[in-house]
Structure 1
Amino acid sequence: MKDQIELSITVRAGTGEVWHALTDSDELENWWGEGIKLEAKVGGQFREKWEDDDGQAQMASGKVLEVKKSKLIRFTWVEKSWPKNAVTECTYEISEAGPGKSALTVRHTGWESLPAAIRSKTLKDFKTGWTYHLKELKEYLDF
């Protein structure tokens, strides 16, 4: 699938530790930054507050669609600035990757719901963002 982001990291942490870092509010803010929330239950809320390059407040939100504790969480992602019917979907998949190690794959799909005029730039910006956040998570868990 062309219009998707798929990135993976391997960390020196068990799957439970990775899950905790992704879903516990305090842990999540430790490596992602303030204003992030992901409730690890079906119907739970996803929210990210951030500022764009112009210093304008932005908001992403979504709803949790699927949860398999310490293995998978799938949720929708909608930006406040996007057209009303534009919805993307994120999946975090966690698996064992050897003694004391875990692999995390982030898959972000649904970009075809964005207008063609903004799709390519938005996809590029999100790939940059996900690359940054996964680097931060790896540094946080590998300490």
Structure 2
Amino acid sequence: MSTPITVQYKINAPAEKVWKALTDKNEMKSWYFDIQDFVLESGAEFNFYEPGGANKYHHHGEVLEIIPDQKLKHTWSYPDFSELKTIVTWELQPEDGQTLVKLTHDDIENFKDLGDGFSRENFKEGWKTILGQSLKEYVEK
């Protein structure tokens, strides 16, 4: 039985604004990753590398589910290191003009044999920074 990583933050912005930041590739590169081939449609695949130009980690994803302004679910994998995939789900819940953003990263143990850079703790801290700082600061400005 896998234990997902769950990170959530309340963001002082409406869900529509958070959704646009999460799904518009031009906005994504301002706070998340520069994902040139991202298209918001089920079955669409996308690829990106970590920021900084080292291109050490090729990330691959496939959009699995879309509920506009509420939910985005996609795979998350590193095809250069493993054939195994994980699932990332972003859920947005409006609350009095704010948005509760919940991120769940399932099947993270699929990466346990890939080394320290792929540890559960690394992913948890990474998602906390991405949601609690990068996304939050971007949409609240």
TM-score (norm 1): 0.83
- Residue number in structure 2 paired with 1:128: 125
Cα distance, 1:56–1:28 mapped onto 2, change above 3 Å: closer
- Residue number in structure 2 paired with 1:15: 15
Identity %: 24
Contact in 1 for aligned 2:11/2:99 (Cα 8 Å): yes
- 1:28-69 CA-to-partner distances (Å, cap 9, x unmatched) read 1111143466432111223331169xx453211111111101
Gaps of 5+ in 2: none
- Residue number in structure 2 paired with 1:73: 72
Q: Which amino acid aligns with 1:97?
A: E
Contact in 1 for aligned 2:2/2:107 (Cα 8 Å): no
Cα distance, 1:37–1:131 mapped onto 2, change above 3 Å: farther
Contact in 2 for aligned 1:74/1:92 (Cα 8 Å): yes
Matches of 2:9 and 2:57 in 1, distance apart?
27
Contact in 2 for aligned 1:28/1:36 (Cα 8 Å): no
Matched pairs, number: 139
- 1:83-118 CA-to-partner distances (Å, cap 9, x unmatched) read 22x1100000001111x2111100000123335574
Contact in 2 for aligned 1:93/1:106 (Cα 8 Å): yes
TM-score (norm 2): 0.84
What is the RMSD computed on CA atoms of the aligned residues?
A: 2.4
Q: Which amino acid aligns with 2:25?
A: S
